[in-house]
Amino acid sequence: MRKSLGVVAQVTPLSVLPYGVSMQVCPFHADEGIVGVPVGSDGTLSFTCDRTRGHPTPGLHIWVVVPAPPELDGMSGLGAELGLHVELPALISQFGSRWVEFGVVEHAYAHARPDDFAMLVARYSHTAIAASRYTVSAFIARTLGDLSKWGNVLFHDGPATGRWAYNSRISWWSVAPEPDWETARLSWADTGLTMDYVPGSVE
Phi and psi of 185, rounded to 5°? Answer: -135, 145
Contact by Cβ (8 Å): 36, 45: yes
Determine the 3-state secondary structure of 36 from DSSP: coil
Rounded to 5°, the CA angle 181-182-183 comes to 100
Per-domain boundaries in the chain:
15-191
DSSP tag of 24: E
User: Strand ranges (DSSP E) for 121-184?
Assistant: 154-159, 169-174
d(CA 184, CA 182): 6
Contact by Cβ (8 Å): 171, 102: yes
Residues 138-187 pLDDT 10s: 899 989 988 888 888 999 999 999 999 998 889 999 999 999 999 999 99
Residues 75-134 pLDDT 10s: 357 888 899 999 999 999 999 999 999 999 999 999 999 999 999 999 999 999 998 878
Mean pLDDT of 54-70: 75
Residues 12-61 pLDDT 10s: 333 333 333 477 778 787 676 788 888 766 677 888 888 888 877 778 88
pTM, to two decimals: 0.71
Contact by Cβ (8 Å): 63, 39: no
pLDDT of res. 115: 97
pLDDT of res. 162: 97
pLDDT of res. 71: 45
d(CA 74, CA 66): 16
22-26 and 29-35: which strand pairing?
Answer: antiparallel
The contacts of residue 183 (CB under 8 Å, 6+ apart) are: none
Contact by Cβ (8 Å): 34, 61: no
